[in-house]
Amino acid sequence: MSESRDVKVLGVWTSPFVMRARIALNLKQVSYDFLQETSLTEKSELLLISNPIHKKVPVLIHNEKPICESLVIVEYIDDVWTSAPSILPSHPYDRAIARFWAAYIDEKWFPSMKGISIAQGEEAKKAAIDQVIEGLVLLEEAFVKSSKGKPFFGGEQIGYLDIALGCFLAWLRVSEKMHGVKLLDQAKTPGLVKWAERFCEDPAVKGVMPETDKLLEFAKILFAKMRANLPK
């Protein structure tokens, strides 16, 4: 590992967005301190000082300067630690496409997956499941185009879009277990099924990917609270 130059990641182990920062640092072989928030409801003073706008994790603190928002953090890491491997594609068009799909994942796809667990009634749940699967089919097509027959969206090694989607794999498995559905399916998304296996086995990912059963217990409590707060 290279010198950390005073690098800290402020986060929680359950957050897929925090995972993005940690995977990017691992890819660059940068050592860092992982400072965990102890409560989801009571924010630490360090978090409130570091991210006064959104008051949420992750925050990367580099030489006492905070950087917020997971994809911004990933790009910052790629810019600061320029040693290989590069995280963002080198060609401007490929970079633009990767950013487009990363925005789709955050703004459309992940909210629909979260929607499965808070859906009220079987019809609403089925609609949310269908939406997630439709999104995965679109991402399968994006994978085929971006990877050009190579193991990852980014080519031979994990890149920007791999991190953007791969951080949600533990939560996807939790959704499958909680609701008895198959979201990542060999018949519909064969490329993504193999990609997911490779991603989770990568040394940069293995140590930070939450265990499914441990995350499942956390998810049951979280979604029960969320459902309780929904309007009746």
Residue-wise pLDDT tens digits, 30-67: 999 999 998 777 899 999 999 999 999 999 999 999 99
Three-state secondary-structure class, residue 86: coil
Helix ranges, 1-151 (H): 16-27, 45-50, 70-80, 92-104, 110-118, 122-147
A 10 A CB-CB count for 80 gives 15
Q: pLDDT value at position 72?
A: 98
Tell me if the pTM is above 0.75.
yes
Q: Under DSSP, is residue 148 helix (H, G, I), strand (E, B) or coil?
A: coil
As a whole number of angstroms, the distance between CA 60 and CA 181 comes to: 35
Question: Which domains are delineated in the chain?
Answer: 7-80 (3.40.30.10), 92-226 (1.20.1050.10)
Question: What is d(CA 22, CA 10) in angstroms, rounded to the nearest whole number?
Answer: 10
At 11, which helix (H) or strand (E)? strand 7-11
Residues (pLDDT < 70) of the chain are: 1-5, 227, 232
